Structures are given as C-alpha cells and as structure tokens.
Chain A
Amino acid sequence: MNAATSAEPSVDWRDDIFDVLQAHDIRQVCHVPDAGHARLIEHCQRSNAMRTIALTTEEEGIAIAAGAWLGGQRAVLLMQSSGVGNTINLLGLAKTLRFPFLTLITMRGDWGEFNSWQYPMGQGTPKVLEAMGVLLYSVDNAAEVRATVDAATRAAFNGGQAVAVLLRQKLIGIKDFGNKKA
C-alpha cells in the first residue's frame, strides 16, 4: 500500500485524502460539520471500513483517538482552525501518553478571508499547535495534498508523533457571501 504513488491524480483533493486514510487503515473518523471537509466526510460515511463519529466539540476527538489507539485502532480528527482552540488541554494527552495522533485542519482566517471573526484563531492555529508539541505539515496546492497527507500519516502512525496537516485556505477556496455590502 503506497498511497503516495499508487494512483493517478484524482479529480478532487478530498478524494486523495480519503484514499490515503483508507490505505493507512484509519478506522475512526472524528469530525465536526465542516464545509471544507464535507466531501471527505461523506466518503468516510459511505465506507464500510470506517466509523464516522460526529462530535459536539473538537476536544472529544482527541479523547476518542486516544481510546481508539488503546484499543488497537487508528483514528483521525477532522476539524477547522477555529476548533483547534477547543482542543488545547487535551492535546497534552498526545505528549503524555505518546500515542500517534493525526488531525487534518481546514484553515480559515488565512487567505483572503472575508470574516474578521475567523482571523484570531486562524492566525493562532500554527502557534498553538507548535506550543503543544504537534508537528505541522502545510499544503496549499491540490497536487501536493496526497503526498503531504500520506507523509503526515506515516509520521503519526509509524513515527509515533502528533501531527497536524494544515489545509490552507488558498487550497480550499475563499468563502464569501457574494458581493453584499454592509
């Protein structure tokens, strides 16, 4: 199984992520609703091999991932940059228990963001993750998503690290409400 090199480039980078998660035997997919991850979440919901777990807050995903690892399964946490702030204390579990942890983060407040409320946590996200000892991978080019998520997954589950992939807003596209002016 070599997700990085086995397939032709997919039509959508979210499909690439699904392929990589499947190839690395990720079994529990924790998520909050997220437009950026929506297509990936739908793929996971249709998969017989994966269990999707809708969270009420992102920190639950850290606890679930720790429990999954205790039980011999691999998990991933899909969230938005605004959710990273909700996870800080429980991110400490990754360091204390030294369990492999993988999170894929869709960025807001990052590239041409229209909503000023998204900037503080969006801009704080890399610093917060670094402060908690999480390795950062970043991708803003669709052609590099597959290789980046594959490398991050290997760092997590082969290298025993806590790893975050920042899916930059340049990759996801700028969300706006059209040309409405206040």
Chain B
Amino acid sequence: MSGATLQRRPLVKQILVGADDNLLVIAGLGSSNWDVTEAGDRTLNMPLWGGMGAPVGMGLGLALAQPAKRVLVITGDGDMLMSLGSLATVAAQQPDNLAIMVLDNEKFGETGNQATHTSPRNNGPTDSGAGTDLALIAKGCGIADAATVREASDVPQLLRHLRTKPGPVFRVVKVMVEKLEFVMPPQDGAHLKDRFRQALLGHP
C-alpha cells in the first residue's frame, strides 16, 4: 500500500472550485473522467472515454492554440505511464499555461486494481510495481517544476500552482485506492468536442 490519505473526488472538486471560462480541462479516460465530471459537467471540459495516452498531447496542442487560457490535464498514473515521452515533448515547447495533475493510486483501476509501475517494488506477488517516480521522470524530461504531493495540508498550494503558476507545472498526487461511483459525462466524442469549441470559440 502506498499509505496515501488523499481522496481523489474531494481533491478534484477542490482543484476545480470556481472554474471559469479561463480554465480548459482535459480529463483522462476512466476514473479521472468520472472525478472531473462529478465536480461538474462543464462544456469547457474534454473528458475522454478512450484514447489512453492522449491527454498530455491534447493538453499541449490546446495550450499552444490558446495561450491566454489555462489548460489543466487531469489523468491517472496508468495513462501517464503510457505516454511518458509526451513529457519530453511538453518540455521542448515549455507552454507556460499548461498544468498536468496525475492522480496516482498506483493501480490500474479500470481493469481490476492491478499494480502500476508506480507501486513499490516487492509489495507482494500480485501487487508489485517498480517504484516508478513520475515527478522525477517529468523533471528528467525537462519540466523543471515537477513535484509529488501527499498531504492534505499541501492541497491549497497545489490548487494555486495548478491554476495560476507559470508552467509547465507537473504534479503527481498520491491518492487512496477507492471504489467509487461512476459519474459519467456525455459519451459522444463529437458532441463533447463541438460543445467545447462552441463555448470557447463561439462556433463548433
């Protein structure tokens, strides 16, 4: 066990509190999607139902297209592990309006809570990862402002950093393994895209 004490749902709700038209959110497939949707089904959210490995790239393309807006990518450790190279791609562009939050429960939650590589090594025969440190990887890729958050007392600062600090900002947040209700946004991808563009650009 990671010994994590933070709960992802109230955390995400807190991070997105008071979100206005200046905040554009990409949510990775699975739990991150449901977390973001429970906080509020906003038109300026792009919650993914597939496309594992896409959120960081999507956030980058969006951040470069909309330099005056804040772009926040919220995704899980499994999704992040699938697209580690995208952190180097972000680092090469240095978008100052992009923040990435990885909700790291050290499990592949959608497929039965198998250990991800961020789980500790030798955590048991069916629960062993590699102790992979995503913040260290991000730093190694060239994202200087990368850190891991574990304590509730650090959440107010986390909120400020994700919402306003010049980026790219990368935060791993260690969260508990929980069984939570599915809170689903619309599933039609074209609809999600069109309503996002309508809200942002005034046309689909």
Contacts and interface: CB of A to CB of B under 8 A. Distances in A.
A71 B65 contact: yes
B50 A70 contact: no
A51 B193 CA distance: 23
B92 interface: yes
Contacts of A69: 61, 193, 197
Given A56-B89, A98-B190, A28 B64 contact: yes
Chain A: number of interface residues, binned into ranges? 20 to 34
Contact of A72 (B190, B192, B200): B200
A73 B65 CA distance: 6
B120 interface: no
Q: Main SS of the interface on chain A?
A: helix
A132 interface: no
| Residue among A51, A67, A72, A90 facing the most chain B CB atoms (10 A cut-off) | A67
A64 interface: yes
A61 B58 CA distance: 9
A45 interface: no
A75 B61 contact: yes
A71 B86 contact: no
Contacts of A166: none
A60 interface: yes
A59 B196 CA distance: 23
B92 A54 contact: yes
Contact of A70 (B53, B85, B92, B193): B193
A63 B55 contact: yes
B50 A96 contact: yes
B65 A68 contact: yes
Given A54-B92, A59-B53, A67 B65 contact: yes
Interface of B: 24, 26, 46, 50-66, 69, 83, 85-86, 88-89, 92-93, 189-190, 192-193, 196-197, 200-201
5 contacts: A51-B93, A62-B57, A63-B57, A66-B58, A70-B200
